[in-house]
Amino acid sequence: MDTADLRICPYCKQPVKEGQEKITCTVCGACYHTPCWQQHGGCMNHHPATNENGALVDVQAQGGETSGEGNSDASLPDVPPAADMSADTSGNIVQDRAEPGREPADILAVPYAPPEAASAVAVRPKKKVGLICLIVAAAVLIVGSIAGYFIYQNIQEKKREEAIATYRQDAKTFCDDMLLTGTQMEDVGNALLDYWGTYVSGTRYYNGHYMGDVDDAVLAAQTEQSATISQLQNDATKREQQYKKLLKLPVEDNSELQDIKQAAKELYETYQDMYSCVIDVSGNYINFKSDLKDVDDRLVKKYKALKELL
C-alpha cells in the first residue's frame, strides 16, 4: 500500500493501517487509533468523533466503541507520547514535528471536515425550546381562561345587582303611586258617604243637588268628584302595568325580592277591591259604609307592609 494512502494518528504519529480499529474526529477529520483516542480521552483538539459509518461516538459512555471495520485483533503499534497538532495556512491539520528519519514532506496533511454532526446535536436544544414554548402557551391559555371566567362572573354579578336595584326602585314607585291612588279613592268614598248619608237623613237638596232617591245621591257625589274619578280610571291601566312588571323577578333565588313581589301582589289586589267599591257603587248605605272602611284599612295595612320591605 502506498504511504500516501495512509493517515497518521496524531497521537502516536504512526499510520492507521487497514483493518485497525480507528476513530475519526468529525470536526477536524483527524483519524486516530482507537487505543490512542481512548488513552488521550478524545481528539487532541478537543473535538467530538464518529466512527467510519458516520455515527457519533461517545467514548466516555460507550467505552470507545468503534466502527468495527476490519479485524479487531490486528496488531497496534506502541503508543508514544502525544505530539502537538496545528493547522497550516490552508486550514488542514498537520503534525508540528516530524519523526526521526522522516522528512517534513512525508507528513500527511489531514483535510478539515465540516462538522456534519453539529446540526444533529443542535436539534435537541431546538426541540426543548419548542416544548418550553408549548408549555408556556398552554399556561398562558389556562391562566387567560381562568381570568376570563372570573371577569365574566364579575360582570354577571354586577348585572345581577343592577337588576335587583332596578326592581326595588320599581316596587318603591309602585308603592308611592298606590298611596296617592288610595288617597284619591278615599276622597271619592267619603263624598259618596256624605251625599248618601245626607239623603238617608231626609235631606233632598244638598250643595245644589236634588236627591230624589239613592241613585241621585250617588250621582251627585260622583259629579262632585268627577275629576278625581276620571284620574282614577286613567291611572288604573298604569297601576296594572306596574303590578305586572313586578311579577317578573330579575332573579328567582332572592328571598327579599320574593317577599316584595308577594307584598306588591296583596297591595294591588286590595287596591282593586277599593276601586270597585268607590267606582262601581252597589248595595245599601250601611253595607257601603262598612265595606269602604274595611277595604280602606286593608289598603293602608298592605301599603305599610310593602313600604317596610323597601
* Segment 139-174, tens digit of pLDDT: 999 999 999 988 988 998 899 999 999 999 999 999
Q: Are 114 and 50 in contact (CB under 8 A)?
A: no
The pLDDT assigned to 74 comes to 39
* Among candidate residues 194, 200, 182, 184, the one with its CA nearest the CA of residue 221: 194
Q: Indicate the pLDDT class of residue 41, thresholds 50, 70 and 90.
A: confident
Question: DSSP characters for 51-109?
Answer: -TTS-EE-HHHHSS-----S-TT-----------EEE-TTS-EEESSPPTT--GGGSPP
The pLDDT assigned to 49 comes to 56
Domain boundaries, the chain: 3-114, 162-309
The residues near 96 (Cβ < 8 Å, ≥ 6 apart) are: 83, 84, 85, 86
Quote the cell numbers at residue 76. Answer: 497496534
Q: Are 43 and 33 in contact (CB under 8 A)?
A: no
Q: How far apart are the C-alpha atoms of 36 and 15, rounded to whole Å?
A: 12
Q: Are 32 and 59 in contact (CB under 8 A)?
A: no
Average pLDDT taken over every residue of the chain? 79
Note the CATH number of domain 162-309. Answer: 1.20.120
The pLDDT assigned to 129 comes to 85
* Among candidate residues 61, 55, 51, the one with its CA nearest the CA of residue 16: 51
What separation in angstroms does the CA of 55 have from each of 16, 24, 72?
19, 10, 19
Q: How far apart are the C-alpha atoms of 7 and 131, rounded to whole Å?
A: 44
**pLDDT tens, position by position, 165-176:** 999 999 999 999
At residue 245, does pLDDT exceed 90? yes
At residue 198, does pLDDT exceed 60? yes
Residue 173 carries which DSSP code?
H
Q: Is the pTM of this model over 0.85?
A: no
Q: How far apart are the C-alpha atoms of 87 and 296, rounded to whole Å?
A: 117
